[in-house]
C-alpha cells in the first residue's frame, strides 16, 4: 500500500500517513470550508489501510487550530480507529500533542479521549517544539 501525503497550507493540515511504519500524522490547522470533500480521500485511504487486521498503528495529532466541521471529521477518524481496534484486533494508539499553554486544545483532546475506547495520550509540548 502506498503512503498518503498532503502538503499543508494556511487552512489545510499536513497529512503524512506511512503505510510501512503504521505512523499516521495530521498537523497544523484545519479550517477548510469543505471538510467533507477534503477529508474524503483520507477516509478512503484509512478504510483501505484498516482492511488488514491486527496492525499496530500510532496516530499523531499535532493540530494548532481546527474548526467545528474539522472536529466532526476527527471524531469520524477516531470512530474508525476504535472500530478497527475492537473488530479487527488493531493495536491503536492516539497521541494528542498540544502546546502546553493551549488549554482549549488540551480540553479538546480530553473530550476526544472520553469519546473513544483507545489508548489516548495527551502530550503537552513547548510552543517552540510544535
Domain span at residue 31 reads 4-129
Give this prediction's pTM. 0.93
Alpha carbons 39 and 74: distance in angstroms, whole number: 9
pLDDT per residue, tens digit, the chain (130 aa), is 999 999 999 899 999 999 999 999 999 999 988 999 999 999 999 999 999 999 999 999 999 999 999 999 999 999 999 999 999 999 999 999 999 999 999 999 999 999 999 999 999 998 765 5
- Listed residue (121, 120, 122, 119) closest to 102, CA to CA: 122
Q: How many independent structural domains does the chain possess?
A: 1
User: Which of 68, 67, 65, 120 has the alpha carbon at shortest distance from 98?
Assistant: 65
Residue 22: which of 62, 50, 63, 42 has the closest Cα?
Answer: 50
Edge-to-edge strand ranges of the sheet holding 14-18: 4-6, 14-18, 23-30, 56-66, 91-99, 119-125
Joined grid coordinates for residue 104: 482549549
Joined together, the cell numbers standing for residue 94 give: 492516539
Q: Which residues contact 63 (CB under 8 A, 6 or more apart)?
A: 13, 26, 27, 28, 29, 30, 98, 105
Amino acid at each position: 500500500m502506498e503512503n498518503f501525503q498532503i502538503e499543508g497550507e494556511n487552512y489545510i493540515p499536513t497529512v503524512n500517513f506511512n503505510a510501512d511504519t503504521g505512523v499516521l500524522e495530521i498537523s497544523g490547522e484545519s479550517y477548510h470550508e469543505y471538510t467533507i470533500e477534503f477529508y474524503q480521500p483520507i477516509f478512503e485511504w484509512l478504510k483501505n489501510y484498516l482492511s488488514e487486521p491486527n496492525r499496530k498503528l500510532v496516530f499523531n495529532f499535532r493540530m494548532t487550530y481546527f474548526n467545528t466541521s474539522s472536529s466532526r471529521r476527527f471524531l469520524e477518524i477516531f470512530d474508525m480507529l476504535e472500530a478497527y481496534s475492537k473488530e479487527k484486533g488493531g493495536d491503536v494508539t492516539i497521541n494528542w500533542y498540544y502546546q502546553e499553554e493551549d488549554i482549549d486544545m488540551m480540553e479538546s483532546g480530553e473530550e476526544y479521549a472520553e469519546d473513544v475506547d483507545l489508548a489516548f495520550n495527551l502530550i503537552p509540548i513547548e510552543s517552540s517544539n510544535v
